Structure 1
Amino acid sequence: MATRTDECAVVLGGSIAGLLAARVLSESYPRVVIVERDKILGVHGPRRGVPHGNHAHGLVARGHQIMESMFPGLTDELIGAGVRPGDFSNDIQWYFNGLRLSPARTGLPSVPATRPVLEYHLRERVRALPEVSFLEEHDVIAPVTDASGHRVTGVRVQARTPGAEEQTLSAHLVVDTTGRGSRTPLWLADLGYQAPPEERIEIDLAYTTRHYRLEKDPFDSDIAIIPAATPSHPRGAFFYRVPGDDNRVELSVTGLLGDHPPTDPEGFHAFVRSLPVPEIYEAIRDAEPLDEPLRFRFPASVRRDYNRLERFPAGLLVMGDAICSFNPAYAQGMTSASLQALVLRRHTAGRRLPRPQAYFRDVAREIRSPWSFAAVTDLGYSGVKGKRNLQTALVNRYAALAQRAAVHDPRVTDALVRIAGLVASPQSLMHPRTLLRVLRSARRPVPPSAFGVPTS
């Protein structure tokens, strides 16, 4: 059975990258169809197709700016849903190497909405677009091409019900946003094209998350406590309020290279107690647990270099984690997808058929800086395999100095947070004025106030 959808764009996958793709495609196409294997409309909680949805997610500043520009009023909607926003630095207790950074008012927003809450509100905004429809609980079988095999003209899908027949969605453009498990490399091989080269950084990371209801508020006026994992203190955590006024919190703890946080309650608490910020254990030690610890594993960061392919079929593009999936501890994934959505908007304006090579070249330009940031940082861990050179060592050494300097100097904190928020490039940390502040402040002794409160 064939369904004609003249001048239609089809988006494969309905998570955040797919929603952003549909939003920008709706500006150029009279019909946009999102094909998703899960049931997603009206779903408020985590869903099977997003196994990391139960765990901490960070929307850094640049991603928030882009989403707010695409969906005006989104921040107010999230606040109405119980989200408590704050300043990305001044209202978060940031710890590096066991030391608290000096707070700096950056003016950059932090909106700790949790993944299910953010995705629900984005989905409802996209659902309200008259050009967009959802095809839920359907599997994607394969793209359809013309006789030459050089032009994708649609996609074959099948409902996830017994005995369902395949159906073909004809499309002017198909965008693959199916994430790390994208089958585009296999589809390319089946069509006689080369698969993209891949770069992998094996980190063997795991998140373990548990939710609590607290009797005491450890945050005061802040919105989160985040001890970032570093080579000297490789166990990290994300601790923040869940939207609402009932003192619920989400605690995700992280460990890499096989040092995975346990999923039994006693082991989980012991892992939390080992963190360099004792306030977190103090907060949850006698709190009411709302669920059992749940683990999510992330074996490797992966970048697929589609921009290096000389041939690629017209009418097909790839976006989001299907191109590049980062170490989630750096909270770059949703913002990377937002940046790629802006590229997609430029290349599809006026419903013109994008040239794949030009599109992938521009996407590669957008993800180059965050990928380099994540890759070089991960290579700072001696157990992570990968090519290192003198530059890698110098960058990680200087980053450690900058983190030490930021304990004293809020301007250095501001510089670090802007890089983490993807509103400034890592090279900005080498600005002569910043370099001077780093070298001057890094030599100062650490004040007692920079350390966490001892655990009793």
Structure 2
Amino acid sequence: MSSTEKAIIIGGGISGKLAARVLSDVYKEVIILERDSEHAGPIARKGASQGEHLHALLHAGEHGLEELFPGITEKFYDSGAVKINSTIDLAWFHHGAWKVRYDGGYSTTLQTRPHLEWHIEQYIKRIPNVILRYNQVVEDFLYNKAENRITGVQLKNGSLKADLVVDASGVSSLTSKWLHKRRTPIPEEKVEINLSYISKQFQLAENHERDWRIKMVYPNPPQEKIGGTISRVEGNRHIVTIMGYHKAVNEKEVLKDESGFIELSKKLPRLDIYQEIEYATPLTKTSFYRIPHMVWRRFDKMELPNGLLLIGDTICRIDPVFGQGMSIAILEALSLQKLLQTGARQKVSAAFHKKAAKIISPIWNMVITEDFRYSATTGKRPFGLSIQQWYAKNIFLLSSQNQEVYDAFVKVMNLVRPITTLMTPSIIKSVLSHAFSRIHK
């Protein structure tokens, strides 16, 4: 290994830390440049304004994180994260029906994003060839035009050279700005959803009859636009996140006084969450986060400078309602790890962007199939949309009564099985039978 082999990562969020973990196996030195200050504990970062809201690791993400950071799951539990049985401890009202509850043998970890991210950071700090530098503002790339190569980064104070630069700076990335400044078009897919996230933490009253640890009340589109989740997290707290599509939530109304959030919870399809928090003790202020659109920048379809690699939200910001963002980043990191293990580092960027597109594509299509149930959603519609929506709707409704169908859906939703899992002969038969019975009711 050459002594000059250095990798720089722009952004110390989750995707940046994941990239650092896999790059540390093959690069002599890995430097993470993080804009925020260092925190002494699991506190939401200014640069991750979505951190105040509910986050989840899907099964594929949780398994992948454990593979990258052995023992981290137990660290979560040791410091208060909540381990649940995914199909018993989750009460899920979806498209007007409660999912069937049964023991599928799956587990999920409930915790806040700052708690999860802080534990990843502690692991990163123990890797000897990874350096975390805080309060770093990256202003530009260092670029060798003759070789069409990114050779490092220009900081507010000084510059750093590297053999590889990874942009993990998020949706408003340095790469996008840099290409725009050079009038280089980026092929992209964009879907307007005008989503608002509103969250608050509570201390709930003791209730021995409470038979769930996380409860989700999702809207039944297109009539309903507001949904919500209440989840237990570390510290015997509960976080409530309410989301609304297409400006269904009036921010001023929610923030006008302390009762605004409680009043908003009354607008959910069911009053379950309202009844839990009506007399609960609020622990935090009300936090807002807006996602006007999903965007998938198709870096796999363009020629980027050598020495530049993109990961996480820098490539694709997806609708967070489905909880797939962090898991996508983990799957990307695992894919990058496999590519690096082949030793083909010179061509790793282009190969990785193609691999990332294969990870994102089925998830993107699954998500926009749901988002296009609202007529106000704009963007490129997938082929066969109405058929996909019809089939998915029947899967959702069957999940309230048919354990085989729900079990298959759980695997697909958690990214451990492909969408074709929901198209076996027995499930197709169940869907057709269910659809026929609905027509003749």
| TM-score in same-fold range (> 0.5) | yes
Shift of 1:147: 5.1
Deviations 1:290-339 (A, max 9, x none): 23322111100000001111x22111100000000000101111011011
DSSP-derived class of the 2:111 partner: coil
Task: Give the corresponding residue for 2:259.
Answer: 266
CA distance in 2, matches of 1:193, 1:106: 52
The yes-or-no answer on 1:335 pairing with 2:324 is no
Residue 235 of structure 2 aligns to which amino acid in structure 1?
G
* Match 2:366 to one of 346, 354, 373: 373
CA distance in 2, matches of 1:344, 1:193: 29
The yes-or-no answer on 1:236 pairing with 2:234 is no
Task: Give the corresponding residue for 1:123.
Answer: 121
CA contact (8 A) 1:202 1:299 kept: yes
Task: Give the corresponding residue for 1:454.
Answer: none
DSSP-derived class of the 2:137 partner: strand
CA distance in 1, matches of 2:150, 2:187: 21
CA distance in 2, matches of 1:218, 1:378: 37
DSSP-derived class of the 2:166 partner: strand
* Match 1:386 to one of 366, 376, 379: 379
CA contact (8 A) 1:10 1:175 kept: yes
Shift of 1:367: 0.8
Residue 150 of structure 1 aligns to which amino acid in structure 2?
N
Task: Give the corresponding residue for 2:86.
Answer: 88
* Match 2:290 to one of 283, 290, 297: 297
DSSP-derived class of the 1:354 partner: helix
Shift of 1:280: 1.2
CA distance in 2, matches of 1:67, 1:358: 22
Shift of 1:401: 1.2
CA distance in 2, matches of 1:244, 1:443: 48
CA distance in 2, matches of 1:59, 1:284: 25
Q: Is the deviation greater in 396-405 or in 339-348?
A: 339-348
**Identical aligned pairs, as a percentage?**
31
CA distance in 2, matches of 1:348, 1:42: 33
CA contact (8 A) 1:185 1:195 kept: no
* Match 2:305 to one of 305, 308, 313: 313
Shift of 1:444: 6.9
Task: Give the corresponding residue for 1:254.
Answer: 243
* Match 2:45 to one of 31, 34, 47: 47
DSSP-derived class of the 1:107 partner: coil
Residue 90 of structure 1 aligns to which amino acid in structure 2?
I
CA contact (8 A) 2:371 2:377 kept: yes
Shift of 1:266: 2.8
Shift of 1:267: 3.1
The yes-or-no answer on 1:222 pairing with 2:212 is yes
Shift of 1:43: 3.8
Task: Give the corresponding residue for 1:352.
Answer: 345
CA contact (8 A) 2:12 2:32 kept: yes
Deviations 1:353-406 (A, max 9, x none): 334332211111111111111112111112211344671011111111111111
Task: Give the corresponding residue for 1:163.
Answer: none
Shift of 1:244: 2.1
Task: Give the corresponding residue for 2:103.
Answer: 105
DSSP-derived class of the 1:82 partner: coil
Shift of 1:420: 1.4
* Match 1:57 to one of 52, 55, 58: 55
TM-score (norm 2): 0.92
DSSP-derived class of the 1:382 partner: coil
Distance change >3 Å, CA 147–CA 307, structure 1 → 2: closer
CA distance in 2, matches of 1:358, 1:389: 25
CA contact (8 A) 2:215 2:229 kept: yes
TM-score (norm 1): 0.89
CA distance in 2, matches of 1:219, 1:415: 29
CA distance in 2, matches of 1:442, 1:96: 17
Unaligned runs of 5+ in 1: 159-165, 446-456
Deviations 1:194-227 (A, max 9, x none): 3321211100000111111111338835320011
DSSP-derived class of the 2:118 partner: helix
Deviations 1:170-203 (A, max 9, x none): 111100000111020232355x573321211100
Residue 229 of structure 2 aligns to which amino acid in structure 1?
F
Distance change >3 Å, CA 387–CA 200, structure 1 → 2: closer
Q: Please, what is the CA RMSD of the aligned residues?
A: 2.1
Shift of 1:88: 2.4
The yes-or-no answer on 1:424 pairing with 2:417 is yes
Task: Give the corresponding residue for 2:186.
Answer: 196
Task: Give the corresponding residue for 1:67.
Answer: 65
CA distance in 2, matches of 1:218, 1:442: 39
Residue 284 of structure 1 aligns to which amino acid in structure 2?
I
CA distance in 1, matches of 2:33, 2:208: 42
Shift of 1:423: 1.1
Q: Structure 1 segments of 4 or more deviating over 4 A?
A: 441-445
The yes-or-no answer on 1:76 pairing with 2:70 is no
Task: Give the corresponding residue for 2:199.
Answer: 209
CA contact (8 A) 1:240 1:249 kept: yes
CA distance in 2, matches of 1:148, 1:369: 38
CA distance in 1, matches of 2:14, 2:296: 18
DSSP-derived class of the 2:82 partner: coil
CA distance in 2, matches of 1:260, 1:367: 29
CA distance in 2, matches of 1:221, 1:81: 23
Unaligned runs of 5+ in 2: none
CA contact (8 A) 2:82 2:109 kept: yes
CA distance in 1, matches of 2:264, 2:36: 34
DSSP-derived class of the 2:32 partner: strand
Shift of 1:149: 4.8
CA contact (8 A) 1:193 1:312 kept: no
DSSP-derived class of the 1:180 partner: coil
Distance change >3 Å, CA 358–CA 384, structure 1 → 2: same
Shift of 1:132: 0.6
Residue 323 of structure 1 aligns to which amino acid in structure 2?
I
